[in-house]
Every structure is written in structure tokens, then in C-alpha cells.
Amino acid sequence: AGALAVLPFLGILGHAFVSWDDPAMIHGNPLLALSWREALLAVFTSFHMTSWQPLGWLLYKLLFVAGGGAPAPFHAASLVLHGLNAALAAAVLQRLLPGARPAALLAAVLAWAWHPLHAESVAWASQLSDLLCGSFVLAALRAHLDERRGAAWAFAALAGLCRWKALAAPAFALALDLARGTKPRELPRRHAGFWLVAAAVVALNAAAKASLGYAAALRLHEASLGLLLQARKLVWPVGLAPTDLLDGADNPWELGPLGAFLLLVAAAALVTAAARRRPALGWAFGAFAALLAPTVLFATPGPVAVMDHHLYTASLAFVPLLAWTFDRARWPAFLLLPALFAAGAIQAGAWRDSETLWARVLAVRPVSPAARLNLAAARADEGRWGPALVAVDEQLAVFPRDPLAAHLRDELFARAGVTPDRLESDAAAFLFERGRAPAAAARLERALALSPRDADLLVDAAIVDGALGRREKARERLRKAATLSPRHVRALEALRRLDAAEAR
């Protein structure tokens, strides 16, 4: 199961880091610059990135030191942990459903492991601690099913040192016991350690969030939309993007507060009705919703972020139900698994580098408030100033009052180290190479307004004019360039080509 689980994602070994948390989590992470002695203490007191994850930071440091800051060790570790999690999930299923066919159990595990939603967790280096947390959660569940309560609680505590998603261990353990008919009076004895771990995880991570202004806030509209959107992505994983930002009426479904709440109530009623016949279904959905609740309840005054990686551990709630289904009918697995494999591989490919990632986001979310800014930042970090300026100006065209975009535009002109006309020319060249000649022409007009006697700019503008069929204007620019610089090779060559084209 472990070896098969990673097959759709093997391509990530050649991926780069992306401009979405990776810089802050890895190269810009102050914890990774400390000595090992300093780090061993600092990771327990740090709320870096509003997260408390000591073991996660130590894993990052180990990989950073071992690989010299290269992305390959991080991606290799992600594959290893994802494969381990698939193997552990299979071990949990074997204990939970001892009479089920092995093929059904394997199919259920692969359906979870290959799901395209999990491409974000596996292909994004910044989610490595989530994968490690998932390993300890699954180990805790297997120990719980084996009645090794001390080991189960210890694994849950280790999960808590990785990520707040360690709450999955007590949530799943409780759901499993209730689904199996455990009497309520036995729960404190079986779950006391889990509840202590959960309390510590909640307290520490609430403090981490509060360090940057996050606080628990019941925003019913966004919470309803977030839960519905996550459930939809799990069932119909198309149009996936790193984040959906929900802010009141600004949501993919354009649902108002009442509509979103009623739709959530209707979905809960359907689950409740189905759970009367299959109680395990109700406990699975209950655990799933409980694990997603923190992602929509802790928010800044701005939008609520709904992200694919929030489902990596939460979606394990449905793996036993899948195994039960596949054990009774084989055809769903034959239809589902190839589609998930292909979709998982395609989605992982979107994380190849920042350019690919944000291009994919803009393809599925043209009005994404974050994509163009992150794309601009990535291009600027690579010294591609013109393309960065294009992304910033496109952001301002969609969001004219975006203060971050306006600030980044000013920063680009300051950092580029070239004159504004050259930066506009560089942006024009980028646009022209991508077949956007009208936009390139507009950029060159701005550049010429700043430097009307620049022969190079005149030649560039003439080439674009020629591509747009404006031959007389192109000829005029080329003659002017040749007058300003009689030996300008490009101007003279372009004039010869233009004359030859008209002679034919």
C-alpha cells in the first residue's frame, strides 16, 4: 500500500519550492538558522508562522541541513511519509474490518492516498509537518484498536508536537468507539489521555494563533460555506486551488448567509437520516466536521481561507466506509481508482514551481486575490522584473484599491536597478513572447513617453507594430531609430525585412 500510494506523486522529486509559505517556512525560517542546541529549546517556545509544531520544525531543520536548503530532500521526505501513512491506514483497516477482503482494504487506502486533494499536502514542502502528524495519528489509532492505551496516548502526544491536526486522534478514536457501541461510562477510562492531549494542543495552538491576531470567531456565513466547499471538493475534486478565500458574499457559489446556512442544515439532515440505518456514517461525518471546524472558526478580520491540505487527515474518516463499500461491490473501485490516480498526478504537477502553480490558480480562479501577487513576488525573487511588473499591474486592474499591489509596484521600480522605461520594455518583451502583442504595444508606448529618442525602444515598438499589421507606423519608428542611430543594426535589418515583405 505504501509503495503504490506515492506513484502519482513521484514527479515532485524534481519540483522547486513555491512562493506560498515555502520561503518563510524554510529559507526565511529563523529556527533553521540556529545551532542544534539552540533549536532544541527554541522550537518549543516558537510561534513562527502562528504554528506550534516542535517536531515539525526539527524535521525541517534536519532536511535543510542535510540537503543544503535544496527542495529535493523535502519532497523525498513527503513521499516517504505519505507512503508510510498509507501503510498505517491499511493497518488500521485490517484491525477495524478483520473480515473484509484485502483487495477492498487496499482499494480504499489507495482511493484516499491518490485523491487529488492530497497533492497539496504531498507536493507542497510547507505541509511536511502535516504528513508527520498524520503518521502519529494513524499509529495512535492502531494502538487504540489494539487496546494499548498508553501507546495510543503517547502517539497522540507526538502528533500534537507536529501539528494541531493531532486532534484527529481523539476525534477518530471517539468516533470508532461510539460506532462500535462502546458504553458512555467506559469512555473516560479509554479516552482520558486523548482528552488531555487535545486540551494541550488546543491551548498551545490557540496561543500561537493569537500571537498574530487570530481569534476564535463564529462567522456563521463563512463557516457554513467553508464546510460545504470542503465536502464538495472531497466528492468532486475539480478546479482545485491552494486557497479559496471566503469573505461574506464573495464566495464561489454566491450564496448569502441564509442560503449557505440552510444548505448546510439540509446536508446535515441527509447525513442524519442516512445514519439511522448506518450509524458509522454519522460518526464519520461528525469527526470530519469537527476536524474542519478550527479551520473556519479561527480567523483574522479578513477572509476565511479554505485549503485543500486541511482535508489530508480529516478525510481519513471516510476510508473505513470506502473499504466497507468496496468489500461488497468491486465495480466502484474499478471506476474510481484510475480517475483518482490521473487527477492526483495532474494536480501534483501544478506544484512544479511558482509560475506553474499560480498560472493554474488563475486558470481556475481568475479573480484570486492572492495569485498575481504571489506570482509577482516569485518573479521578482528570480530577478525577472518585467514579468513581475506585468503580474502586479494585472492585479491592480482586477483590484484597483489593493494596497499590497501598489506597494509591490513601487518596490519593483526601486529594486530593479533599471530606469522605468527599461522596466516597461522588459514587461513588453515578456508580453510579446506570450502572444499578447496589443498589451506589449501599450507598454512600449509608456516606455517611449519616458524616452522618446531611445533607438532600441523605437525598434522594439516597430516590431510589435509590424506584428499587429501597422506597417506604416512601424516604418516611421524604424526610420526615426536609424536617424537617431545611423549604425543601429536592428533598425536597418528590420527596415530591409519590411521593404522585402512589401515588395513581395
Mean of the per-residue pLDDT values for the chain? 91
Angle between helices 403-416 and 371-381 (to 10 degrees): 10
Kind plus residue range of the DSSP H or E element containing 174: helix 168-179
Is the whole-model pTM more than 0.75?
Answer: yes
DSSP string across 105-145:
HHHHHHHHHT-GGGHHHHH-GGGHHHHHHHHHHHHHHHHHH
Of the candidates 70, 93, 3, the residue with the CA atom closest to the CA atom of residue 319: 93
What does the alpha-carbon distance between residue 34 and residue 57 come to, in Å, rounded to a whole number?
Answer: 11
What does the alpha-carbon distance between residue 477 and residue 460 come to, in Å, rounded to a whole number?
Answer: 9
Answer for the pair 460, 425: CB distance below 8 angstroms, yes or no.
yes
Q: Which amino acid makes up residue 174?
A: L
b/e map 298-311, b = 16+ CB within 10 Å:
bbeeebbbbbbbbb
pLDDT tens digit at each of 504 positions of the chain? 899 999 999 999 999 999 999 999 999 999 999 999 999 999 999 999 989 999 999 999 999 999 999 999 999 999 999 999 999 999 999 999 998 999 999 999 999 999 999 999 999 999 999 999 999 999 999 999 999 999 999 999 999 999 999 999 999 999 999 888 888 899 999 999 999 999 999 999 989 988 887 777 777 888 888 888 899 999 999 888 887 878 766 677 778 888 888 988 998 999 889 888 888 888 888 899 989 888 887 666 667 888 999 999 999 999 999 998 898 888 888 889 999 999 999 999 999 999 999 999 999 888 888 899 999 989 998 899 999 999 999 999 999 999 999 999 999 988 988 889 999 999 999 999 999 999 999 999 999 999 999 999 999 999 999 889 888 898 899 889 889 988 888 888 888 887 776 665
Residue 298: strand pairing partners: 216
Pairing of strands 215-216, 298-299: antiparallel
Grid cell 476525534 in the structure block, residue: 171
Angle between helices 128-145 and 72-96 (to 10 degrees): 20
Q: Where are the beta strands (DSSP E) in 143-252?
A: 215-216, 244-246
Q: Which residues 6+ apart lie within 8 Å of 504 measured at CB?
A: none
pLDDT tens per residue, range 326-372: 988 888 888 899 999 999 999 999 999 999 999 999 998 888 888 99
Pairing of strands 304-306, 298-299: unpaired
Q: Which residues 6+ apart lie within 8 Å of 164 measured at CB?
A: 51, 52, 201, 202, 205, 294
Report phi then psi at 16, rounded to 5. -95, 175
Burial of 114 (0-12, 13-18, 19+ CB in 10 A): buried
